[in-house]
Structure 1
Amino acid sequence: MSIKRKKHIMELLQQQGTLEIAELTEHFQVSSMTIRRDLDQLENEKKLIRTYGGATLAHPLKSERSFSDKQLEMLEQKQQIAEYAIPFIQPGMTLLLDSGTTTLEIAKRLSDIEQLTVVTNDIQIAAILMNSKLDVYLLGGRVQNDVGAVFGNHAEEMLKELHVDLFFLGAHAIHPSFGITAPTIEKAALKRVMIRAAEQVYLVADTSKFNQKAFAKVCDLSSINGIITDDSLPQEIYTQYNELAELKKVVKK
């Protein structure tokens, strides 16, 4: 029974991120001492981290890597996501593109869309669109070395004066309980301002971003209109995220 209970505890942690001893004792109908013993054993096995009155997953926070490191990683999946995303864009729209290698793939496919205005905080995306006929606005602010993302107060203030039809949000990590997270407080703050500036917000993220956590929270999954991901997402994860919010849908082919 102890082995089955501990396995079930880990399944619950994967779903919720954190657990309280009180809810586990009620769930399993055992004593708090039994649950504490199970949690202590799981911590010794480095499967979780004990907290005051409960436990949390032991997975480390996902850290950020350079543009060159990320550019070719999951490239086929990112290209697939970009192909899924393009039909959301209509001629004459104002489009906001977050920084990232997935949104860069979307930018590569925009040149044939007429009367499109693009706003971005990514110098790589601005460079890709430099020779197009699109109207392109690059947010001002601090440029992150090795990544090419622009962030800070200047970028946020410029965004507060704008209103866009559609925003493709990039994510460093996505979790069913913790929502969408970014590697720094400054990046999370800018993403929140971007969300407020848009009529519709779609998260674009490959399967490696799911069930992960980064340092700073951007928003809950219910704050966006949908998620566009690649078709290698496992069915159980697809089902889990697709049921989290009424307006959120994982696009999977």
Structure 2
Amino acid sequence: MQADERRRVILERVAEQQSIEAQTLADALGVSVMTIRRDIKRLEQDGFLRQTYGGATVHITKSVELGFNSRALQCSAQKRLIGTRAAQLIEPGQTLFLGEGTTTAQFAQFLPPHPHLLVVTASLSHASLLCSRNIPVIVVGGKLHADELTMTGPIAEATLARFYADVCVLGAAGVDPVVGVTEMDYEVAALHRMMMERARHVMVLVDHSKLGFKAPAVVAPVQMIGNLMTDSEAPEPLLAQFRDCGMQVSLVASSKEYGAPQSA
């Protein structure tokens, strides 16, 4: 196993379990503890992990403290894995639109600090997290929602109109094959629709509990989604309906399987 692949597996294991012993990682990957500690040191330098005393245990850095609410506790392991895998798809030099939400927060947590990467977001919590890892960010401004620390309204939309993104990365309150992508707040829905319209490729990151759910504010039809990434607990009949709509569906399984997301 090459170093890059080994570090990807380490990130996935830590994302799933929150903390893990270096010896456990070494045993699982069939390498020495010193090799694991060198990998951890590199990941720490890149802002992904933090070592505890003696380097025996690894923890996720900068877990979402701003804008925390009860939604972050729902399907938290699945959200971490979805965010981790989605972040691996981003390439150096890309411009991203990043929507608000707890799953996109995990994406921001694990986004590599690629050269010349630029993230445009309406979320103050996401922006703070990305800035702490030296990733350039533009915050759109506008009316601040105190509960989610996200901004909406004409000022946000005017700023967004000045950009075109390679990739739009969104969460959603619900994704239904007929109704489409939906949100609880109509202003958030309007901003996310604009992000989708001004991006070359759209990724929607949701855990299985959001599939088939219909929130009141419609963002866009599912045909605007390029890649729907969810977890392996998603019901297959519903996934088949999404595939029939023409999108790629990526299933993120437990990191214990050490494989890439399944796609169809």
- What TM-score does the superposition give when structure 1 sets the normalisation length? 0.70
Q: In the alignment, which residue of structure 2 is the partner of 1:151?
A: 152
Give ranges in structure 1 of 5+ residues lacking alignment: 1-65
Structure 1 residue runs of 4+, over 6 Å off? none
Q: In the alignment, which residue of structure 2 is the partner of 1:186?
A: 187
Amino acid at match of 2:105: L
Q: Is the 8 A contact 2:177 2:242 kept in 1?
A: yes
Q: C-alpha separation between the residues in 1 aligned to 2:113 and 2:185? A: 35
Q: In the alignment, which residue of structure 2 is the partner of 1:249?
A: 248
**Counterpart mapping for 1:104-253 below 5 A:** 104-243=105-244, 245-246=245-246, 248-252=247-251, 253=262
Q: Is the 8 A contact 1:111 1:133 kept in 2?
A: no
The superposition leaves residues 73-124 of structure 1 with CA deviations (integer Å, 9 ceiling, x where unpaired) of 2111111111221232001111111001101101011243222111111111
**Counterpart mapping for 1:42-121 below 5 A:** 67-121=68-122
Q: C-alpha separation between the residues in 2 aligned to 1:227 and 1:211? A: 13
Question: Any idea what SS the aligned residue of 1:201 has?
Answer: strand
Q: In the alignment, which residue of structure 1 is the partner of 2:16?
A: none
Q: C-alpha separation between the residues in 2 aligned to 1:163 and 1:204? A: 20
Q: Is the 8 A contact 1:78 1:102 kept in 2?
A: yes
Q: C-alpha separation between the residues in 1 aligned to 2:226 and 2:112? A: 25
Question: Any idea what SS the aligned residue of 2:69 has?
Answer: helix
Q: Is the 8 A contact 2:167 2:202 kept in 1?
A: yes
- The alignment covers a number of residue pairs equal to 186
Q: Is the 8 A contact 2:88 2:111 kept in 1?
A: no
The higher radius of gyration belongs to 1
Q: C-alpha separation between the residues in 2 aligned to 1:187 and 1:107? A: 19
Query: Relative to structure 1, is the Cα distance of residues 160 and 112 closer, same or farther in structure 2, using a 3 angstrom cutoff?
Result: closer
Q: CA deviation at 1:202?
A: 0.9
Taking only the aligned residue pairs, the percentage that are identical comes to 32
Q: C-alpha separation between the residues in 2 aligned to 1:155 and 1:106? A: 22
- What TM-score does the superposition give when structure 2 sets the normalisation length? 0.67
Q: In the alignment, which residue of structure 1 is the partner of 2:257?
A: none
Amino acid at match of 1:106: F
Amino acid at match of 2:249: V
Range moving further from structure 2, 112-121 or 97-106: 112-121
